[in-house]
Structure 1
Amino acid sequence: MTDRIVLQGVSARGTHGVLDFEKRDGQTFVVDVTMVCDLQRAGRTDDLAATVNYAEVADDVVARIAGPSFDLIERLAEVIADDVLRHDLVESVEVVVHKPEAPVGHPFTDVQVRVERTNAAHVVVALGSNLGDRGQTLAAAVQALRDLPGLTVASVSSIVETDPVGGPEQPPYLNAVAVGRATTEPEALLAALHRIEAQHGRTREVHWGARTLDLDLIQYGTPGSPREVVSDDPELTLPHPRAHERAFVLVPWADADPKATLRVGAGGGGIRPVADLVAELDRSGVRPGPRWEHP
């Protein structure tokens, strides 16, 4: 595929950088986005729905530049690429982040970071632990997810502590959600999640009982997209049938991905923003957890 949409020179002020004055005073960042798409239908029909709305892409880029501070422009480029790849028409994307006011200490014209990413199915994995060193276990599990072939972890939520729901009496949980892109099939991804659980001593003797590590595949593919997998197979039910009613999943999910949507209900169901579902839930059993520990 050689069709491309090129959006160049999107600029805004942000506070990205490792130095104190960069985070305090901010500076100008400039971003170029090149999207590889199949534009034949758009060219033949003149239909906006058959292409990518580059005004929306520009809005997302500016929101990332002006949003929460990152130490590295490599991270800024990564999250911008992930935003662009939400558009299922985009087969791959190149993002170039320019930092023309970088504190280099010598005469220069530009500093830039260039990343290329390929689209794949967007996936959501919920993590939980209520036995042992819960924080260290979650950190090790996130690293294991990052190491999985065929899975790119794009964002991880803050940790929350939650009261147990159902099952026998047990200690409170630490929960988090990781979102990313997968090229592996959902069955293979679920099997890999089970292997990571087993490596951390997970056993399944008691239904909804305490566990060292729980990894649930909540969703595979953006709802309504060609990559979405909807399955009622008892071995692989997608999306997770109880995710829409679980604050310990939805609260960190909305933190990791504020634009997330979830298919709710049997027979295909409707598609709802996760933020709206969170607003309808009792969140009294969910509270801020500890900061992340890095394995």
Structure 2
Amino acid sequence: MNDEGRQDALDTSGRRLDQIRLTGITALGYHGVFEHERREGQTFVADVVVHLDTRRAAARDDLAHTLNYGELAEQVAAVLSGEPVELIETVAERIAATVLASGVVQAVDVAVHKPNAPIQVPFGDVVVAIHRDRSKLPAAEPYVARVAQEAQPVSRPVPTSTATFPVTPAPGAPVVPASGPAPAASLVPSGAWSDAVAPAPGAFSGGPDGPSTELEPVPAGEAVVVGELVTDSLDQEPQEPVEVVLALGANLGPAQDTLRDAVTDLARTPGVEVRDVSALARTSAVGGPEQSDYLNTVVLATTTLSPRALLRATQAIENAHGRERHERWGPRTLDIDIVLYGSVLAVTDDLELPHPRAHERAFVLQPWAQVDPDAILPGLGGGPVGALAATAPDRDGVRWLALDWLTTAIPAVSGDTGAVPAGQPGPEAQDT
């Protein structure tokens, strides 16, 4: 808890996240339960505290790697002055959803003030304050500017955003005039956020006309289950194929065979096209318990999958090869990491792009530099991959690189384990 009584947000390692604070955002809105509030409007004020990691942006001095608070202020003001609702609790949830639609944001505090609330006794202010993060999602959809169109009644939400990243278009895009006294900027109807991103596998479809927004009656005696669909910019499919870099490793079982099969599985995955495969590296384990050496390779590919859909695909391949996650950095039959997804820089609970430790892992950098000598790793600590490989802390742990491993058995890979015990000599390097 900080000095102002606000709960600090922590990253996945338990460290306090950085903050961007926007206070006193003011707009004329038409929210309230009384008719005169909807007719005449009143002043609403919002304070927003965004929790995120600002190091990448600071290291590169680049706005693209952080939250544009100017745009965010315009979006918050658009929510305040947008589609009228009865409760400022709803307004607060909509602002929180808008902030969390950015993949770099981990949590947000929102306070909505209604200083002119119709209260019959003297008072200073009315404030609704909420904290939302990716484990406690907002009960609303994010702000999206509507594309101008003829005003017609609709029976279901119409997706309005086709932007690749982020989900929310930049403020200033054409908007549909809202009904009544509210200004033109408004919110996408409930349910449109999930329409604007790729649906999760097995997600319910409301029929040929798309998802239904109507509540269906629940048969007597059946329990009602309320669920939340976790979506952000990493769930949205790109408009054209994106270049990706995947790092594969194994040190349990027939490791070379497993890696060969995994490459084949990736090539057969819909939406993934394998372009090149690096040499096979034998490397010492980094971190974790004492264990056998690893075999590692890097796959260059393109994909039309969203970042999170690609993550699910790689995890499915890991699981198909018996991957179990009992111990962090422990031995494994197969590990597939997304090192790079185009130019996307994002930090979420389940996916960080580029991979946060890629710049210091020679077992990724050396095979990558071998297959793509001109490769550049973006983000914090990034740079030319070849140069990073030459200075990586674990560079002495890369024992050899072998070409043609996809079609030729490597002599040093022997026994039932398929991996090489630590300290055992291997063949001479076939490529450096």
Match of 2:391 among 280, 283, 289: 280
Q: Structure 1: how far apart are the matches of 2:267 and 2:399?
A: 26
Distance 1:131-1:271 versus aligned 2 partners, 3 A rule: closer
Q: Specify the code of the residue in structure 1 equivalent to 2:320.
A: Q
- How far does residue 248 in structure 1 lie from its aligned partner after superposition? 0.5
Q: Structure 1: how far apart are the matches of 2:370 and 2:276?
A: 9
- How far does residue 289 in structure 1 lie from its aligned partner after superposition? 4.7
1:103-252 paired onto structure 2 within 5 Å: 120-221=241-342, 228-252=343-367
Q: Structure 2: how far apart are the matches of 1:148 and 1:259?
A: 27
Among all aligned residue pairs of Structure 1 and Structure 2, give the percentage whose two residues are the same amino acid.
49
3-state SS of the aligned residue for 2:287? Answer: coil
Q: Structure 1: how far apart are the matches of 2:279 and 2:311?
A: 23
Contact (CA 8 Å) 1:155, 1:257: kept in 2 or not? no
Match of 1:255 among 360, 367, 370: 370
Q: Does 1:292 align with 2:405?
A: yes
Contact (CA 8 Å) 1:137, 1:213: kept in 2 or not? yes
Whose helix fraction is larger, Structure 1's or Structure 2's?
A: 1
Contact (CA 8 Å) 2:281, 2:295: kept in 1 or not? yes
1:11-160 paired onto structure 2 within 5 Å: 120-160=241-281
- How far does residue 271 in structure 1 lie from its aligned partner after superposition? 4.9
3-state SS of the aligned residue for 1:181? Answer: strand
Q: Specify the code of the residue in structure 2 equivalent to 1:286.
A: V
Contact (CA 8 Å) 2:359, 2:382: kept in 1 or not? no
Give the structure 2 partner of residue 59 of structure 1: none
Q: Structure 2: how far apart are the matches of 1:150 and 1:122?
A: 12
- For residues 161-203 of structure 1, what are the alpha-carbon distances to aligned partners after superposition, in whole Å with 9 as ceiling and x for unaligned? 0000000011100000001111111100000000000000000
Q: Specify the code of the residue in structure 1 equivalent to 2:371.
A: A
Q: Gaps spanning 5+ residues in structure 1: where? A: 1-117, 222-227
Whose strand fraction is larger, Structure 1's or Structure 2's?
A: 1
Give the structure 2 partner of residue 21 of structure 1: none
Q: Structure 1: how far apart are the matches of 2:373 and 2:241?
A: 19
3-state SS of the aligned residue for 1:126? Answer: strand
Contact (CA 8 Å) 2:250, 2:335: kept in 1 or not? yes
Q: Structure 2: how far apart are the matches of 1:194 and 1:131?
A: 17
- How far does residue 293 in structure 1 lie from its aligned partner after superposition? 3.8
Q: Structure 2: how far apart are the matches of 1:212 and 1:134?
A: 7
Contact (CA 8 Å) 1:122, 1:179: kept in 2 or not? yes
Give the structure 2 partner of residue 94 of structure 1: none
Distance 1:254-1:185 versus aligned 2 partners, 3 A rule: same
3-state SS of the aligned residue for 1:122? Answer: strand
Q: Specify the code of the residue in structure 2 equivalent to 1:287.
A: R
Q: Specify the code of the residue in structure 2 equivalent to 1:234.
A: D
Q: Structure 1: how far apart are the matches of 2:353 and 2:243?
A: 13
Q: Specify the code of the residue in structure 2 equivalent to 1:236.
A: L
Distance 1:254-1:182 versus aligned 2 partners, 3 A rule: same
- For residues 249-271 of structure 1, what are the alpha-carbon distances to aligned partners after superposition, in whole Å with 9 as ceiling and x for unaligned? 10011112111111241xxxx65
TM-score after normalising by structure 1: 0.54
Distance 1:144-1:273 versus aligned 2 partners, 3 A rule: same
Contact (CA 8 Å) 2:281, 2:398: kept in 1 or not? yes
The one of the two structures with greater contact order (alpha-carbon pairs below 8 A, sep at least 6) is 1
- For residues 88-111 of structure 1, what are the alpha-carbon distances to aligned partners after superposition, in whole Å with 9 as ceiling and x for unaligned? xxxxxxxxxxxxxxxxxxxxxxxx
3-state SS of the aligned residue for 1:195? Answer: helix
Contact (CA 8 Å) 1:174, 1:289: kept in 2 or not? no
Q: Gaps spanning 5+ residues in structure 2: where? A: 1-238, 409-432
Contact (CA 8 Å) 2:245, 2:300: kept in 1 or not? yes
Give the structure 1 partner of residue 196 of structure 2: none
Q: Structure 2: how far apart are the matches of 1:243 and 1:293?
A: 24
Bigger CA radius of gyration: 2
Q: Structure 2: how far apart are the matches of 1:141 and 1:256?
A: 18
